[in-house]
Amino acid sequence: MIQDRLTGKAQLARLSNARRPPTQLLYGIAFEHFCKFFLTHYCHLEVRGTLPATTSPFLVCSNHRSHLDSLAILIATGLPFTSCGLLAAQDYFFRNPIWLRLLTPAMHLIPVSRRPRPHEFQSMVDSCADFLRDGGRALIAYPEGTRSNAAGLSTFKRGAAVLALRLGLPVLPIFVSGTDHVLPKQRIIPRPGRILVRVGSLLHFNQAAQPANLRSYSLQVAKEIETRVGSLNSQS
């Protein structure tokens, strides 16, 4: 199990500042402050639910309807952007020079293949483990696999569940609403609106109780995560 070795605000800042050129560091700070101001005042971001009182790393699993989802979740956690690793589609974010120039100086992106071969998935798991060992506090994943146009949830894929089981991470279910109105697919400029982030309770999975068939068990875990995320949508 990955153990968090950094606690306190000063130590959390270490991850944000380590091995980052001054210009990149300043850009990252400015980007984070701008995003907080924009989502708080332009999008009227509201967070409901209690964030986990833990110093150990965790995996966020959320629905996905807009590129603004990640920013809303990052702000909702209250953690520095660079202390959260975002699992990002390799074919979208890492082959688009605009996204790379805009995002990589300000946050930690971990490439994920939409249809990973075993060695590609293992490489992603290793990258996540390295990030957490270096002081990362959270990983953010979208088990639906892509932005959804549906009002509810698409079926959760099991990749996030396998990641949580392999790294021994508890899962924090989150449901984000309103981002698909502010910045839907095919829209470049956000429009005014309200964004609501509902935070659930941490889900813990007993690694020692895992059956020999990891595929079957990970599907069960993925379904439980999907159910918990979906239940947040029905809360008032």
Mean pLDDT (the chain) is 84
Burial class from Cβ neighbours inside 10 Å (0-12, 13-18, 19+) for residue 88 reads buried
Question: For position 20, what pLDDT does the model report?
Answer: 62
Could you tell me the residue ranges of all domains in the chain? Answer: 9-233
Burial class from Cβ neighbours inside 10 Å (0-12, 13-18, 19+) for residue 218 reads buried
172, 61 in Cβ contact below 8 A?
yes
Tokens of 18: 């380590």
Tokens of 205: 């999975």
Residues whose CB is less than 8 angstroms from the CB of residue 131 and which lie 6 or more positions away in sequence, other chains included: 85, 108, 110, 139
pTM for the model: 0.85
Interior/surface letters 176-206, b for 16+ CB within 10 angstroms, e for the rest: bbbbbbbbbeeeeebeeeebbbbbbebbebe
Distance separating alpha carbons of residues 8 and 131, to the nearest angstrom: 18
Tokens of 199: 């935070």
Query: What are 17-45's pLDDT values in tens digits?
Result: 455 667 878 888 899 999 999 999 999 99
Fold classification of 9-233 (topology level)? Glycerol-3-phosphate (1)-acyltransferase (3.40.1130)
Query: What are 188-201's pLDDT values in tens digits?
Result: 889 999 999 999 99
Inform me whether the pLDDT recorded for 236 exceeds 80.
Answer: no
Element holding 135 (H helix, E strand): none
Inform me whether the pLDDT recorded for 176 exceeds 80.
Answer: yes
- Under the banding of pLDDT at 50, 70 and 90, the label for residue 107 is confident
